[in-house]
Amino acid sequence: MTSGSVQFTIGENDTNDKLTSAEQAKLWAAYIGNSMCRCVLHYMLNHVEDQDIKKVLENGLNITEQLVKTIQGIYTQEEYPIPIGFSEEDVNVAAPRLFIDEFYLHYLKYVGKAGVSLYAIAVPLVTRPDIRALFTQCLDFTAKFLNEVNEAIINKGFMSRPSFIAYPDKVEFIKKQNYLNGFFGEVRPLQALEITHLYDNIENNATSKAVLIGFSQVAKSEQVRSYFVRGKEIAAKHYDIFSNMLAKEQLSSPPIFDPMVTTSTVAPFSDKLMMFHKLDMFAMRIRGYGNALSMCARHDFAEKLARLSIEVGNFVEDGANIMIDHGWLEQPPQAVDREELVTK
């Protein structure tokens, strides 16, 4: 995607249809997530020195700001309460640098993947033409932006590629059930789909771990700080487990990004924003593990994904409880409680 202003063109709602539950859900999630990203990108832009990386950040911020503005317009048209999300109160752009410039690109790739997942699921579920047009454009803009991020990573020499494997000599069919083995008997090498999802989840854990290191350094609340330390340990453990699976096949893993975190202890973001950020991204981790599980055929890999998904789920639940205790967790749209109406 080239630099310049992104404009969402969705048209008017000429159907008189109300927003469905799917449309309400995806608009809400997109609004909350992008209001958070807007704060993060404003902070990063205040410190970035590399002009090429600055241009990528500016393009990302432009997409985010335009999407937030467009969804606000839909809410106003629908006379729908606009979510609180995150605002200038949740960011201190003057706080010292927490990450070096290179990490900004890895971070953008990390959150861009989450955006693509959110919008791709929305497109087949939304039915109102203007909302369908919005999420179709979200998916298109985000995919183009991720290409821009990857190009910048490659041009800067920061790209770590998944391992090359030999081309097959011919097309073959699976003949024996031992293809599924992982713990006992003859265990086959990892196939390409398994390698791909291993690599993706290793990369996500490497990025998440660096973010958690930074957040743990600057969090004001001891409870929040301890939560980030626990998250860092989970990300590190999962990184090691998946990396060891690739290493046994003489395949490479993405590097860790820990050295890209500075020694700053001044918070650029509110504890509320940082808690939501990690809660949201760890929830996306469950989806990432689920996607990997659907593509893997070896029992040992499947067992690891199922077991580690439970650990991530418990971490997300504990984070949600912390946010509820502090009054930070905004409630998504929900169905009417009919039983409560009856008792009134």
Give domain status of residue 16, yes or no. Answer: no
Give domain status of residue 8, yes or no. Answer: no
95, 185: one domain: no
39, 145: one domain: yes
pLDDT, residue 104, reads 98
Residues spanned by the domain of 146: 21-155
120, 242: one domain: no
Burial of 75 (0-12, 13-18, 19+ CB in 10 A): middle
Q: Distance from first CA to last CA of the chain, Å, rounded?
A: 55
Give domain status of residue 211, yes or no. Answer: yes
Give domain status of residue 339, yes or no. Answer: no
Q: Give dist(CA 201, CA 309) in Å, integer.
A: 12
Last residue of a domain, one of 106, 122, 155: 155
Give domain status of residue 337, yes or no. Answer: no
294, 220: one domain: yes
CATH of the domain at 189: 1.20.1260.10
Q: Give dist(CA 15, CA 85) in Å, integer.
A: 29
135, 187: one domain: no
pLDDT, residue 2, reads 40
pLDDT, residue 187, reads 85
181, 314: one domain: yes
28, 149: one domain: yes
**pLDDT 10s per residue in the chain (344 long)?**
344 578 898 888 878 899 999 999 999 999 999 999 999 999 999 999 999 999 999 999 999 999 999 999 999 999 999 999 999 999 999 999 999 999 999 999 999 999 999 999 999 999 999 999 999 999 999 999 999 999 999 999 999 999 999 999 999 998 888 888 877 778 889 999 999 999 999 999 999 999 999 999 999 999 999 999 999 999 999 999 999 999 999 999 999 999 999 999 999 999 999 999 999 999 999 999 999 999 988 889 999 999 999 999 999 999 999 999 999 999 999 988 777 778 77
What global pTM score does this model have? 0.93
188, 321: one domain: yes
Take residue 92 and report the two structure tokens written for it.
Answer: 């201190």
CA dist 59 → 11, 42, 237 (Å): 23, 12, 34
Give domain status of residue 307, yes or no. Answer: yes
143, 185: one domain: no
Query: How many domains in the chain?
Result: 2
What are 99's strand-pairing partners? Answer: 261
136, 196: one domain: no
Q: Give dist(CA 16, CA 165) in Å, integer.
A: 54
**Cβ within 8 Å of residue 293, ≥6 positions away:** 302, 305, 306, 309
202, 283: one domain: yes
Q: Report the amino acid identity of residue 303.
A: E
Last residue of a domain, one of 96, 122, 155: 155
Q: Please name which of 133, 123, 137 lies closest in space to residue 22, comparing C-alpha atoms.
A: 123
pLDDT, residue 11, reads 83
Give domain status of residue 334, yes or no. Answer: no
Give domain status of residue 163, yes or no. Answer: no
192, 117: one domain: no
Q: Indicate if the alpha-carbon torsion angle 131, 27, 85, 120 is positive or negative.
A: negative
**What is the DSSP code (8-state) at residue 183?**
S
